[in-house]
Amino acid sequence: MKRTIVFILLLAMISPLVSGQDVGVPDWDIGWDSDDEPMIMELDSNYNFELVIKFWVDNSRPLPADIDFEVESNEQFIVDDPGKITVSANSNETFELTISGTGWDGNGALLDARGSHYDIITLKAILLFGEQNAGEKEIEKQVQFSPVFGFEISFEPPNQFMPTIKSGTNEQITIFVDNVGNVDDALTKIDMKFKGCPQMNFEQIDMLKTGEAIAFTMIGTSKLLAPSSHPDKICTFVVTVTSEGNGISYAGELEFDVDAPDISEEEDKEESPNPESSDLEVEGNTLPAISSFLCLLTVCFAAVIRR
């Protein structure tokens, strides 16, 4: 009897310790191999990418785990997952998820790389028992395009509609600096000059600015000035800007004609008689005729008086 009481007391003392222990239940789980957030989809020279994301599957159960995968992502991406796999009992294995595609959208522009991420990749793992769903695990990863920088320069009016500038006059043009990259950028340098026409000059009205963020387009206005002595010539106005993002310079050219006055026509105008001065000359030519008549009449009158 005493032994029984002692055993019960010992059991009562040990039971709280046993109940306090965390007895793990065999299970399975998945996770990403990298904590990078977002992961970068590096665009190549053709603006295509291939991103490999590694993940692990941990199976602490005493039985092998048959697992299938489903991936949700941008419909333009091509996704290659491991398919159906079997993970051995009490093991942890690593697999790869490959995402590929292009950085272009359907309108011929680069997909945006602004913001914290572009898309979220969702990986769903399904534990199979036979062919039936016996449980699911789901993880997500943010992905983002690598930055691309670039500018294009255009003019209004454009080359094909640029009017001829006459010597001694000017023509106002609008300059468009378009951001054709996928992130905001700025200009570190702006240069404007004429090619082939050193006599030409320009005056900036609404200036393009350096250091100012350009999400889409920056607009400036300039006046092209042709001096009165400028000869007939085809000229080119060149605008060059330098990107803050990649340090590369981009140039745009506007071609136009300068029309000088015709010198022979100017001389003809100077030599041609003025109608008003011509009338005065006609009147002037009649004066000698009147003077001769008066002289003859005076002589005749003197002869009569003498007789």
**246-283 pLDDT tens trace:** 999 999 999 999 999 876 555 555 555 554 444 434 34
CATH 2.60.40.10 location in the chain: 25-145, 151-262
Confidence of residue 23 (pLDDT cuts 50, 70, 90): very low
> Which pLDDT belongs to residue 22?
44
In a 13 Å sphere around the CA of 228, the CA atoms on its Cβ side amount to 1
CATH class for domain 25-145? mainly beta
Residue 100's nearest CA partner among 65, 143, 67 is: 143
Beta carbons of 121 and 99 less than 8 angstroms apart: yes
pLDDT per position as a tens digit, 46-58? 999 999 999 999 9
pLDDT score of 291 more than 50: yes
- pLDDT above 90: percentage of residues in the chain: 74
Could you count the other beta carbons within 10 Å of the beta carbon of residue 114? 12
pLDDT in the model for residue 108: 86
DSSP per-residue codes, 109-159: SBPP--SS-SEEEEEEEEEEETTEEEEEEEEEEEEEEPP---EEEEEES-G
Yes or no: is domain 151-262 CATH 2.60.40.10? yes
Q: What is the pLDDT of residue 277?
A: 45
For residue 73, what are the contacts with CB-CB under 8 A and spacing of at least 6? Answer: 79, 99, 119, 120, 121, 122
- Is residue 265 within a helix (H) or strand (E), and if so which, with residue range? helix 263-271
Q: Is the pLDDT assigned to residue 8 strictly greater than 70?
A: no
Residue 305 pLDDT class (50, 70, 90 cuts)? low
DSSP H or E stretch at residue 9: helix 2-20
Q: What tokens appear for 9 in the block? A: 């007391």
Grouping H, G, I as helix, E, B as strand and the rest as coil, residue 290 is helix
